[in-house]
Amino acid sequence: MRKQTQLVGAEKLMLSDVVTISRQFLRSVRIDTDIGREDALSGYICQGTAISLLESMAHQITETRQRAFTWTGPYGGGKSSLALMLCSLVGAQTEIRTKAKQLLGLPEGSLVHKVFEAKGDGWLVVPVVGKRADVAHELSAALAKAKSLPASRKKQPDVVGELVEAAERHPQGVLVVIDELGKLLEASAQDGGDIYFFQELAEAASRCSGKLVIVGILHQAFDAYASRLGRQSRDEWAKVQGRFVDIPLVAATDEVIELVGKAINVENPPPLGEASKFADRIATTIRTRRPGTPVTLADSLRACWPLHPVTAALLGPISRRRFGQNERSTFGFLASREPLGFVEFLNGYEAQWFRMYGPALYWYCRPRSVDQDHCADRDVPQRLRLGRGGVDSGGLDPGCGRATDSQGA
């Protein structure tokens, strides 16, 4: 099937002519380079799960001596975006702080505002993006950069001591965010690095008389990064993580649907006809089984067209499943050009309401690492096989199973 945009005398619009994926959702957020950039905050949508996480941290900081946290969640689940918001909320630039406050939209009396209050020059913010390297050196370099000093040349910098000293001297506070902490843990597992560094860091933060808050960002629990080490080491790692309070950052199904709807832009959509009723029916079914589901669910599902509403509703739960191993994020899937993927679907079909990317297609284009056997080519039914340059429906619409003419397929 070739992409065909012109019929005799009439323009034939393909899905790819009317559907685009918002660039906002295609870039990965990098806290160390995005901090201080107002445009990097634009488009952030603060959802209930993110608010609960910040409130939970604020409560612990107010009511206990706990100052070290880990946030654990699936790939592409918005961890770095939220970390960037937190860094921006307390950072040095007033206008960025104001923008972060607006985007977070927390109620005026929220404890988060009290705990993360910043004025004047703000807090000292130390953003680190982990890589396979020694954690003490990475943290020491990031601290020097945050203080606008040259990097330390010491072989074994006492970065924990330096952080405590910085927090005790600072009139407001020091926030250390270690994104991609898993990479540093992997380096420790591989090179026999010192895992007790993290324990020391967490304990120092809780003992410090200044405000020193540590956030580490992970995809899975500490000990899972030590899977190749022996049982005893894994137990030690789990014990070290016990010094941190772990808060999951896992968006609820309706939150994922809302974000997916925002990520899929449709210009001049065709009349959605029955597709709209599908969304209503599926939203009603979900709401019947899960009474807490927001009343706006049907609208959110409609906004996901040409994703079939069932596919849209499945993306969240699938990204949560075994998320330590599932390396394809929800937004990565929307942009992926893999066979039977969403982009191929958009290129392969005319823009008509019944062209919806259904759960069957999603199932067969899942990465091999997730469900090896089910992705084997021999298992792909004939009606879903690829034609040249697109999805060959074999006369059946792969989305809703409706019989169609084979034009454009």
Ligand X SMILES: Nc1ncnc2c1ncn2[C@@H]1O[C@H](COP(=O)(O)OP(=O)(O)OP(=O)(O)O)[C@@H](O)[C@H]1O
Judged by CB, which is closer to Mg ion: 33, or 265?
33
DSSP string, 182-230: HHHHHHHHHHT--THHHHHHHHHHHH-SS-EEEEEEESS-GGGGGTTS-
**Using CB distances below 5 to 8 A depending on partner kind, what does residue 76 bind out of Mg ion, ligand X, none?**
ligand X
Please report how close the Cβ of residue 33 comes to ligand X at its closest, in angstroms.
13
**Using CB distances below 5 to 8 A depending on partner kind, what does residue 45 bind out of ligand X, Mg ion, none?**
ligand X
109, two tokens: 């009396």
383, two tokens: 């009606």
> CB neighbours of 345 closer than 8 A, spacing ≥ 6?
15, 306, 355, 357, 361, 391
Judged by CB, which is closer to Mg ion: 219, or 243?
219
One residue of 70, 80, 319, 393 binding Mg ion per CB under 5 A: 80
Give the contact letters, 28-67, x = binds to ligand X (CB under 6 A), - = no.
xx-------------xxx-x--------------------
User: Which residues inside 229-268 make contact with ligand X, applying CB under 6 A?
Assistant: 259
Judged by CB, which is closer to ligand X: 14, or 106?
106
Please report how close the Cβ of residue 325 comes to ligand X at its closest, in angstroms.
13
Judged by CB, which is closer to ligand X: 14, or 129?
129
- Residue of minimal CB distance from Mg ion? 80
- Residue of minimal CB distance from ligand X? 78
DSSP string, 75-128: TTSSHHHHHHHHHHHHSS-HHHHHHHHHHHT--TT-HHHHHT---TT--EEEEE
Residue 155 DSSP symbol? S
Give the contact letters, 313-332, x = binds to ligand X (CB under 6 A), - = no.
----------------x-x-
Judged by CB, which is closer to ligand X: 189, or 334?
334
Please report how close the Cβ of residue 186 comes to ligand X at its closest, in angstroms.
14
172, two tokens: 């407001």
Nearest-angstrom CA–CA distance, 74 and 58 = 23
State the residue for tokens 């089910």.
Answer: 374
76 touches ligand X (CB under 6 A): yes
Judged by CB, which is closer to ligand X: 128, or 384?
128
Nearest-angstrom CA–CA distance, 11 and 18 = 13
79 touches ligand X (CB under 6 A): yes
**Using CB distances below 5 to 8 A depending on partner kind, what does residue 91 bind out of Mg ion, ligand X, none?**
none
Judged by CB, which is closer to Mg ion: 19, or 41?
41
CB atoms within 10 A of CB 291: 6
Please report how close the Cβ of residue 255 comes to ligand X at its closest, in angstroms.
8
Judged by CB, which is closer to ligand X: 78, or 309?
78
Among the listed residues 90, 82, 98, the one whose alpha carbon sits nearest the alpha carbon of residue 115: 90
Structural contact between residues 132 and 186, judged by C-beta atoms closer than 8 angstroms: yes
Please report how close the Cβ of residue 81 comes to ligand X at its closest, in angstroms.
3
- Examine residue 306 and say whether the peptide bond preceding it is cis (omega within 30 degrees of 0): yes
Q: Which residues bind ligand X (CB under 6 A)?
A: 24-29, 43-45, 47, 73, 75-81, 259, 329, 331
